[in-house]
Amino acid sequence: MKEINSNNETIFFSIIVPVYNVERYLDQCLESILTQNYSNFEVLLINDGSKDSSLEICKKYKQIHDKIILIDKENGGVSDARNTGLKTANGEYIFFCDSDDYWVGSDTLLNINNLIKESKADLIIHEESRFFSKRDIVYKHNQKFLKNKKGNFTDEIINLVYYDLYAPSPCDKIIKRSILIENELFFPTDKRSEDIEWTGKLMYHIETFSIYSKSFYFYRQARKGSFTTNIDEKNVIDIYTMVKNGLKNQQTNSEKMNLAVENYWACIYVIILKEFYVLSPKWRKEIWNDLYDWKYLLQWNRNLKVDKVMFFYKYLSFRFLIFFLNGYRIKTSFYKKHRASK
């Protein structure tokens, strides 16, 4: 692993960008970050063994911008790249940005800096916009349903989980680096869909939060070659293992937190049900009893996505519900790819 330069300036924000074969999107991603009208930040580019021209693009930006720390390493996956960035970062707060996504607005860092100075929050949550094409961008804006957009995390965690504001992604969160380092909240390198486990563990360590009102992060949907576009058997089995471990986690002293944790894993449980027929017959048989035992997770008011499933579960048996969700998954996948191809 080779680190190419760094600077010793006192840093408030560290923006970690894993890079792997994204030559088509990398310029847009970096330009959107580097044009901020705020200066107290660093960008950590972790080239994860790219085979295209991504490393050369990183080097080009490194020559121009002294805020960039470039680390060139052998391919180890996105989790390893993020962990490398996190261990190298100097900032008080951490952003994660995928290198095929981009930001909108030159005042984002300045505004978030002001929000943190005012709220002193451990965690800032912002809502992503889903980018399918230039003429097809969706912003969910679920924060409008919250009465309290800052304060004690445990007091509001049930609503944050229900409205999909506390969701399994690092890219919609800005977190105090000390919380991640001191609690060793690194991404698992032996699992797919690693964001799910990481987010599930993070919620135990946050005391205060604030929500940033603007959507600046544009999340590219159904990109060809993206690991999030296609789910295979290993993904599903890893998610199943995460749910199993997550439901066994030690209870806290807070009933609200315990319920929120269960609600979070209920939402992830729905993913397994949707992806059940990706599995081989052997694996379907292997995990069936657990899935059946976890039916208690299918209840109203856990999460918006679970509520959608409950609408159909009223009329369907458990086994047929899984079959129905599989058809829904296939239809949604084709629809997303169609939208992204326009």
Tally of CB atoms within 10 A around 117: 9
Residue 88 pLDDT exceeds 80 = yes
Average pLDDT over residues 169-185: 98
Given a cut of 80, is residue 342 above it in pLDDT? no
Share the mean pLDDT of the chain: 94
**Residue 250: pLDDT band with limits 50, 70, 90:** confident
State the Rg of the chain over Cα.
Answer: 20
Q: Categorize the per-residue pLDDT at 319 as very low, low, confident or very high, splitting at 50, 70 and 90.
A: very high
Q: Cα–Cα distance between 254 and 323 in angstroms, integer?
A: 37
- Contacts of 130-134 with CB under 8 Å at 24 or more apart are 130/219, 130/221, 131/101, 131/218, 131/219, 131/220, 131/221, 132/221, 132/222, 132/336, 132/339, 132/340, 132/342, 133/339, 133/340, 133/341, 133/342
DSSP 177-197: HHHHHHTT-PPPSS-SSHHHH
Tell me the percentage of the chain whose pLDDT exceeds 70.
Answer: 95
pLDDT at 8: 47
Tell me how far apart the alpha carbons of residues 284 and 275 are, in angstroms, rounded to a whole number: 11
Structure confidence by residue, pLDDT tens digits, 119-145: 999 999 999 999 998 889 999 899 999
**Residue 171 class from Cβ within 10 Å (0-12 exposed, 13-18 middle, 19+ buried)?**
middle
pLDDT single digits (tens) 185-234: 999 999 999 999 999 999 999 999 999 999 999 999 976 655 555 789 99
The answer to whether the predicted template modeling score (pTM) of the entire model surpasses 0.75 is yes
Q: Count other Cβ atoms within 10 Å, centred on residue 191.
A: 19
Mean pLDDT in residue range 164-178: 98
For the chain, the first-to-last Cα distance in angstroms comes to: 39
pLDDT at position 226: 57
What angle do the packed helices 194-202 and 255-274 form, to 10 degrees?
Answer: 170
Residues linked to residue 151 through DSSP beta bridges, in sequence order: 209
Q: Could you tell me how far CA 122 lies from the centroid of its own chain?
A: 17
State the pLDDT at residue 6. Answer: 42
